[in-house]
Chains A and B, each alone.
Chain A
Amino acid sequence: MKILRIIVLATSLFVATVCQAQSMFRGDTTHAGSYSGPAPRQFHGAKWKFPTGDRIVSSPVISGKALYFGGDDGNVYSIDVETGRQIWKRATKGPVSSSPAVAGGIVYATSYDGKLYALSAETGAVKWKFATGGERRFEAKGLHGMEPKNQTIADPFDVFLSSPVVAQGAVYFGSGDGNVYAVDVATGEQRWKFKTGDVVHSSPAFADGILFFGSWDSYFYAVDATTGKEKWRFHGGEDALIHNQVGFQSSPAVVNGMVYTGCRDSNLYALDAATGKEKWRFFNDLSWVITSPAVARGKVFFATSDSSLYHVVDAASGKPVLKQQGNAYMFSSPAVAGDVVFIGVLNGTLEARDVKTGELLWNYQTEMSKQNKGWVLTAERKFNVPFFYYSNWREAPLVAIDRQIGIGAIFSSPLVSNGVVYFGSTDGFLYALE
């Protein structure tokens, strides 16, 4: 009887651990993007797809029998993971372009309305709301070379909000007001806030009592999760010319005392988690690293934007292990499960690649991408720049980017659970593929 109780307890703990490992952005508090359990090496079909009212850039999480994600239609959704049927939705006052975190029966989600929401995981009822200083996107004069050079332009590629992470009885998240907040999960009261020099849309990772996150002020920070005091900071690249090669948009992963993060200065950095000392960097020829790196099997998996390269490097040394040429920008972060890596591509395709070789096993193209309205894509599914980036009209660059990502782009980072891959698309659907 005692043995039975131990088995039941151990099983419960195992289940709890497995559930926990899918209940926050990139799995758990370390954001390693590595998922246990089987993964579909072959594509068998769509298990279900769930429609929302607008684009989805949020990455789904799973807790128990429910899947949670945010929509740019302003809702936080709870979906039955088996059937794809809606359990509840809760409206916020702005796009929910981040991943919810689920802990202790509460769903925490950030919205462009500048608030953190704590919702009942079961019903979606609002437990409390916490107001920040308000959201905003990264902005700069003549950003990316856009005209006029003397006018401040909000970055259309700053698409994600910071996803909350829950640890030590607090929920932590970054904000467009430049702060990282620690909010008490029980009361919804602020414990502390940490001021950076610019927008924080990087999602903090937590390990050993320390929070790790980057800011658009070009610094990467380690902060004591209990006190909010800075432990160290690391300086990334600067770009005074067109502000293109600056800022940490990528979210870090913390594994074995190392912090891995991408940066818009085109480097993937490996930093000592204790000291912030740079261990190595992997330069990507001025191509942004927006993806949050996945860390598994002693390797780091990431991808680039303009050069559209999928990379695997050695986690200890940063030495290249393999690379594969993709078809289009990758902002979605790779998810490692079993012997497969999944990654979303902005051309509206989800790719499944072999962990060891990086070779494409299968891909899934969204219907909107297949329709290819306005020939945004070439026949090879590369971005057909002359067909969406052609006008000199005032707002043309922004319209062009809107046209580009309206193709069913996959910003959302895949989640793998029980042999099913879940992700959202700008076509407004949340997909479950098996």
Chain B
Amino acid sequence: MVNLSNNTNRTMYAYALGNRSSRVWLVLTFLIASVLVCRAEGTASGRWEGTVQIPGMELKLIVDLAQDNRGAWIGSITIPGLNVKGSPLADIAVKDSDASFAIKTGRGLQATFQAKLNVDGALSGDFAQAGNMAPFVLKKTGPAQVELPPHNTAIAKEIEGEWKGEYEVLGYPRHVTVKLMNRVAGGATAEFVVVGKKTTNLPIDLVTQEGDSLTIDSHETGISYEGRFKKDAGEITGTFLQGPIEIPLVLRRAN
């Protein structure tokens, strides 16, 4: 029994206890950290909310991260200040305490997030866009609510194949060739080539058919085509949309 009233002994005891305590804490910290690191992948799942501090502007971020039934990471992001809602996350990587992901929206916003899962449960790191960088901090607020992006649908057999049409902008003619085809899986794809003074092969990322309505989207360029298939006339009557410009465009079977 140690006499705690003895200052010397108390000091010695405290010293000894302190040493032992330090060791215990070290071991505990290591164990906790190991558990945290091991469980990082699990803890990345969820809805994360916070802000990114841009000079003169604080942006609200809402990030949803989850693993699909094959274990692959999926996610979406909402940035109310930049008119981004449920935009899909790309290049998601979660390893140990590191997490990173990227966004590429149809409005031309491309950015990356490099983050660390902290012991306090926060997800913090750097937001990089167009060469600019700013810190962000997110905190988990609940389970993930990942928004899945629209996907290509299959198209009717009679719509498959090559179509041609033309339109005019400010007196300058444009010739359009569209090739539509179904894939074995993953719906239809399209090639969309516009020939004016130069030839532009639009990067098409979405083809959908609902009833007789056909939509072809190139989110990267902000160009889309909305048409209605008229079986009897053998044509697709629609509109070429480029930003604010809406121009009628009738596609007919290429000979």
Do the two chains belong together in a single complex? yes
Write the A347-391 contact mask toward B (1 if CB under 8 angstroms, else 0). 000000000000000000000000111110011101011110011
User: Bound complex: CA of A99 vs CA of B245, how far in Å?
Assistant: 36
How far, in Å, is B179 (CB) from chain A's closest CB? 27
Query: Which B positions have Cβ atoms within 8 angstroms of A?
Result: 54-57, 81-83, 105, 107-109, 129-132, 134, 169-170, 197, 243-245
Docked-complex contact A379 and B130, CB < 8 angstroms: yes
A144-B244, A245-B170, A390-B107 known; A372-B132 Cβ under 8 A = yes
User: How many A-B contacts are there with CB distance less than 8 Å?
Assistant: 64
User: Which residue from chain B places its CB closest to the CB of A373 in the assembled complex?
Assistant: B56
Other A-B pairs, 5, CB within 8 Å; known A237-B170, A373-B55: A245-B170, A372-B55, A380-B131, A385-B108, A390-B83
Query: Which A positions have Cβ atoms within 8 angstroms of B?
Result: 142, 144-147, 237, 239, 241-242, 245, 285-286, 371-375, 378-380, 382, 384-387, 390-392
How far, in Å, is A308 (CB) from chain B's closest CB? 16
Docked-complex contact A241 and B245, CB < 8 angstroms: yes
How far, in Å, is B106 (CB) from chain A's closest CB? 10
**A375 — which chain B residues lie within 8 A by C-beta?**
54-55, 57, 129-130, 132, 134
User: Which residue from chain B places its CB closest to the CB of A265 in the assembled complex?
Assistant: B170
A374-B55, A385-B108, A386-B107 known; A239-B244 Cβ under 8 A = no
How far, in Å, is A394 (CB) from chain B's closest CB? 14
User: Bound complex: CA of A392 vs CA of B81, how far in Å?
Assistant: 11
User: Bound complex: CA of A239 vs CA of B105, how far in Å?
Assistant: 30
A375-B130, A384-B130 known; A286-B83 Cβ under 8 A = no
User: Which residue from chain A places its CB closest to the CB of B108 in the assembled complex?
Assistant: A386
**A390 — which chain B residues lie within 8 A by C-beta?**
81-83, 107
How far, in Å, is A245 (CB) from chain B's closest CB? 6
User: Bound complex: CA of A261 vs CA of B105, how far in Å?
Assistant: 39
User: Bound complex: CA of A386 vs CA of B104, how far in Å?
Assistant: 11
User: Bound complex: CA of A240 vs CA of B234, how far in Å?
Assistant: 32
Chain B interface mostly: loop
**B132 — which chain A residues lie within 8 A by C-beta?**
372, 375, 378-379, 384
Docked-complex contact B244 and A242, CB < 8 angstroms: yes
User: Bound complex: CA of A239 vs CA of B172, how far in Å?
Assistant: 12
User: Bound complex: CA of A145 vs CA of B247, how far in Å?
Assistant: 12
Determine which of B54, B57, B109, B131 lies in contact with A386 in the assembled complex, contact meaning CB atoms within 8 Å.
B109
Docked-complex contact A242 and B245, CB < 8 angstroms: yes
Docked-complex contact B108 and A239, CB < 8 angstroms: no
Docked-complex contact B83 and A391, CB < 8 angstroms: yes
How far, in Å, is A354 (CB) from chain B's closest CB? 27
**B109 — which chain A residues lie within 8 A by C-beta?**
386
**B134 — which chain A residues lie within 8 A by C-beta?**
375
A371-B55, A378-B131 known; A387-B244 Cβ under 8 A = no
**B82 — which chain A residues lie within 8 A by C-beta?**
386-387, 390
**B57 — which chain A residues lie within 8 A by C-beta?**
373-375
User: Bound complex: CA of A354 vs CA of B198, how far in Å?
Assistant: 31
How far, in Å, is A104 (CB) from chain B's closest CB? 46
How far, in Å, is A101 (CB) from chain B's closest CB? 36
Docked-complex contact B56 and A371, CB < 8 angstroms: yes
**B197 — which chain A residues lie within 8 A by C-beta?**
285
User: Which residue from chain B places its CB closest to the CB of A397 in the assembled complex?
Assistant: B244
How far, in Å, is B102 (CB) from chain A's closest CB? 14
Determine which of A146, A286, A384 lies in contact with B170 in the assembled complex, contact meaning CB atoms within 8 Å.
A286
A371-B55, A375-B57 known; A386-B243 Cβ under 8 A = no
Determine which of B54, B108, B243 lies in contact with A145 in the assembled complex, contact meaning CB atoms within 8 Å.
B243
User: Bound complex: CA of A387 vs CA of B109, how far in Å?
Assistant: 8
